[in-house]
Chain A
Amino acid sequence: MQKQAIFQSKLLPYALVAPQLAIVLIFFYWPALQAVIQSFLLQDAFGLSTTFVWFDNYIELLKDRAYFEAIVRTFFFSFAIAVSSLSFALLLAVMADKPLRGSTLYRTLLIWPYAVAPPVVGVLWIFMLHPSLGVLSRYLRALGVDWNPLLDGDQAAALIIFAAAWKQISYNFLFFLAGLQSIPRSVLEAAAIDGARPMRRFWTVTFPLLSPTIFFLLVVNIVYAFFDTFGIIDTMTRGGPGTSTVTLVYKVYSDGLLGGNLGSSAAQSVILMIMVIVLTGIQFRFVERKVTY
């Protein structure tokens, strides 16, 4: 009864959600649809000649061994980035949550890196770890490490993972800190009175209560590692040496934007989109069960 009293007209609710709906349709669904259409076409960069090629772009990709290598690499990178940035951020948040002198300053400083754009992160780390320009490389060399990410693929991969994780730490830190502060002190105090040591208190009380935050961040971090890291890769390694830092999203960027091969690039982004949808689905289906809200 009350519902009808509020919305006299049947159209009003639709009219009210229309702007939001329009934005979602124009800025999310329309480009996604465009990508799907584009992936069936073979087109030159200027869009002057267009041929409909059915699934040719997809078939070419599946025949390409480099593409499979990129898939495996992307999963490895995402896993490494998510795990390292999450664990580091949690460690920092736990420490910043303690009553410390000047903790506000400490917290603020930890949040800063998030404001840095990915390509800038790349440049920043290059200045530190470039084989000849880098400040840190000099120390590494002095320690006897043959530091040369320009030719050593593993070192380059480590560099990318490191830089990408570093940038994401602040974001994770922010959520972890908020999560930690919302844990009722009384529960922790009760555990302490019961004689639980700090480590035990953390794993049995804090960690489970933090699980919704961890789960949310896991999803966000995976999506970040999948989609947002190409700026870092482009400025730091451009996919090299060899193809050792070419991830799926970087391949989309380099094939489409640098190579002008829009069909293949679109097909790749459609595959990437499906992959992330599936991955997020799996996370919500299986990982979320372990989360207690």
Chain B
Amino acid sequence: MALRHFGTAAAVALAVGLGASPALAVTEIQWWHAMTGANNDVIVKLANDFNAAQSDYKVIPTYKGNYADTMNAGIAAFRAGNAPHIMQVFEVGTATMMAATGAVKPVYKLMADAGEKFDPKIYLPAITGYYSTSKGEMLSFPFNSSSTVMWVNLDELKKANVEIPKTWPETFEAAKKLKAAGHDTCGFSGSWVTWVNLEQLSAWHNVPLASKANGLDGFDTVLEFNGPLQVKHLENLVELQKTKVYDYAGRTNTGEGRFTSGECPIYLTSSAFFGNVKAQAKFNFTAVPMPYYPDAKGAPQNSIIGGASLWVMGGKPAEEYKGVAKFLTFLSDTDRQVYIHKASGYLPITKAAYEKAKAEGFYKDQPYLETPLLELTNKEPTENSRGLRLGNMVQLRDVWSEEIEQALAGKKTAKQALDAAVERGNTMLRQFEKTAVK
């Protein structure tokens, strides 16, 4: 409280001191984001284009650090009473944002209130499903989406005389051959260990990660990923870790250099890794769909997305919301989506933009950029593959990683580790449920 007033006082003093507070002819819209490098340029260009296209509103993008930083900055700003209008929140923050009724303004409501034309059907359901209620109401606006793909070093596979694997058993065999051919520290590996080996694995094989449609249907969800499929998969990884046919590369994406350096010829991570691969890899590469277990019924199903969406914060005047709504309409434009897709490597979010990129022959030279889309739209999403919505997801992932690491280090069996991950995760979910606004 004291600090808040201090901040206001300082701001007022500063404004008075500068004596430069021009009459605001345009309504300003603050947009906090976490994009760096080429993606930051995309954001700046989008804001500039929007500002140039009309004169009533001015979108001001501000970089606020990485995803977690941006979200924390937004939450802190909200608590201090000056949240931005638009906040970019990564997919794992979805449940936290959703639970904050009153702190956010759902996109479907925003568009209706502002009288903006809005048809949720023009967006790719595989993407919007993640950010919508079970009734199909869009809560946040998808911005940058990606999915898990398997990156393959074509040169090394050729050298070792290995075909691109399609299933997990084939992947294990390929990795063994690659190890025999000289890749003795890493046959295959991957980033984001829980995203790839628990979350995506479950969706891709149409088995639940948690009850209540993976949390989409309510916060009283219970984790269920200690089933036979997930246990078997982790057992396989543990076994292969012993000989480094599989080699664990950390919880986040710090191990991605192992692919671009040529150490690991097969690497599972986000499709958004594209920019780095293109810039650093000195070999022929491609990205193919995630492997699956052929004996699992219905596999492969469809993958789920990663990346971030734009949340509109609550408690702002209607006039400002009108500008936000106009901006979201502006972003939905087909040409603009094609531009974002091409410039950033993230997925287009509307069906029309996807069709247009395809018609332009964009995927002919770069088929791997279509791979995540083909995975996401592989089949009609089910309860188990629509998305995830678990509270405290950032920390949940850390706890799951801890247990997986114990298994890979041989301190626990795969089953023990996953049971413990489920149990510890459930405790955290109950904690989250207690604080979530009903």
Please give the residue numbers on chain A whose beta carbons come within 8 Å of chain B beta carbons, in ascending order: 26, 30, 42-49, 51, 126, 130, 132-133, 150-153, 238-243, 254-255, 257-261
Contacts and interface: CB of A to CB of B under 8 A. Distances in A.
Interface of A is mostly: loop
Contacts of B408: 151, 241
Given A45-B75, A48-B103, A238-B252, A260 B392 contact: yes
Contact of A254 (B96, B263, B395): B395
B406 interface: yes
Contacts of B257: 132-133
Main secondary structure of the interface of B (DSSP, over half): helix
B186 interface: yes
Contacts of B326: none
Given A47-B79, A241-B409, A132 B186 contact: yes
A135 B343 CA distance: 34
A251 B240 CA distance: 32
A234 to B, nearest CB: 10
B248 interface: yes
B75 A242 contact: no
B252 A44 contact: no
Contacts, number: 96
Interface residues of B, number: 45
B402 interface: yes
Nearest to A45: B75
B254 interface: yes
A39 to B, nearest CB: 15
Interface string B129-144: 0000000000000000
Interface of B: 2-3, 68, 72, 75, 78-79, 96, 99-103, 185-186, 241, 248-252, 254-255, 257-258, 261, 263, 392, 394-395, 398, 401-403, 405-406, 408-409, 411, 428, 431, 434-437
A116 B431 CA distance: 38
> What are the nearest 4 A-B pairs in CB distance?
A259-B395, A241-B405, A44-B435, A46-B103
Given A48-B100, A254-B395, A259-B394, A242 B251 contact: no
B401 A48 contact: no
Contacts of B394: 258-259
7 contacts: A45-B435, A48-B102, A49-B436, A133-B258, A239-B398, A241-B408, A257-B72
